[in-house]
Amino acid sequence: MSSAARKRLVTALLLAPAAVWLFLFLVLPFAAIVVFSLGERAPAGGYAPALTLAQYANLPARATAFWNTLVLAPAGALACLLIAYPVAYYLALKVLPQRRLLLVALIVIPFWTSLLIRTYAWMYILGARGIPAFLELVGLPEMRFINTPGAVLLGIVYGYLPLMILPIYISLERLDRRLLEASADLGATPFSTFFSVTLRLSLPGMMTGFSLVLILLLGEYLIPTLLGGGKVFFIGNALVDLFLQSRNWPFGSAIAVALVAITVVLLLAANRLTARLSGARQVDLL
């Protein structure tokens, strides 16, 4: 066997497990979903073979779920970004190196508890016997937090903030400090240095964090269920409803395909934007 052929064989063997896995659990199911989405609901629920775009034409029936997802997911990701950046900046550039590890650990530790349990906790904090009860006690008028878009947004920021902090922290931590000195040396004020150098060079980290959080939020199901209480529902909630309750698989599939399409378009746009802003060097998204 020639050395080139052996190299190809080794590469194939290394990639085989992942390729098989992806084919069985990503490509095949997605193909099935696409096929389902072109079908019709069987009278007793489930899928009946057909070739129609009727399910896609029906998408506006679930406009609220799309609207909620497409407003709250980017808003949540943006809120995470705005809150995470100063934290990451502080961790990477201001904290004494010997304390940095401890603080990074503190950010990661909440992950040791299930998001379900932590979101349940928020249900009680925001629920009638939580903050509203306390506010009433001090004489403020009755307020409602739970089951509002605000509660969902809060749950989103709470749950996903660490995922935003870490990539930004890494990009800032890798930032060559001499570039900041060079900028100051050339007459740039700290303010100007931040915008021309620091922010620009941490863009890949920001984009990684933003994309990561956005992808997860577009498919979010748990937080709207618990903190939105059926009033603020996402595409994820619509899918559960269609597949498990009304058993309208073709319509659910059409929504799923639309969700994937939206995600891909958003990611490509984000990738293009980062590449443009950070100097056309190839940026790895995840």
Site for another protein in 178-197 (CB under 8 A): 178-179, 181-190, 192, 196-197
Nearer to another protein, 184 or 258 (CB): 184
Beta carbon of residue 269, minimum distance to another protein (angstroms, whole number): 20
Q: Any bridge partners for residue 47, and if so which?
A: 41
Which amino acid would we find at residue 31? A
Beta carbon of residue 280, minimum distance to another protein (angstroms, whole number): 8
Nearer to another protein, 110 or 279 (CB): 279
Beta carbon of residue 206, minimum distance to another protein (angstroms, whole number): 14
Nearer to another protein, 60 or 187 (CB): 187
Nearer to another protein, 125 or 184 (CB): 184
Using a 10 angstrom Cβ sphere, with 0-12 exposed, 13-18 middle and 19 or more buried, the burial of residue 261 is: exposed
Beta carbon of residue 286, minimum distance to another protein (angstroms, whole number): 21
Number of residues that bind another protein (CB under 8 A): 22
Q: Using CB under 8 A, which of 176, 264, 273, 276 touches another protein?
A: 176
Which of 61-69, 89-97, 261-269, 275-283 is the region at the interface with another protein (rule: CB under 8 A)?
Answer: 275-283
Q: Any bridge partners for residue 40, and if so which?
A: 48
Nearer to another protein, 119 or 274 (CB): 274
d(CA 34, CA 92): 45
Binding mask 225-264 for another protein (x = CB under 8 A): ----------------------------------------
142 touching another protein, by CB under 8 A: no
Interface residues with another protein (CB under 8 A)? 176, 178-179, 181-190, 192, 196-197, 200-201, 278-281
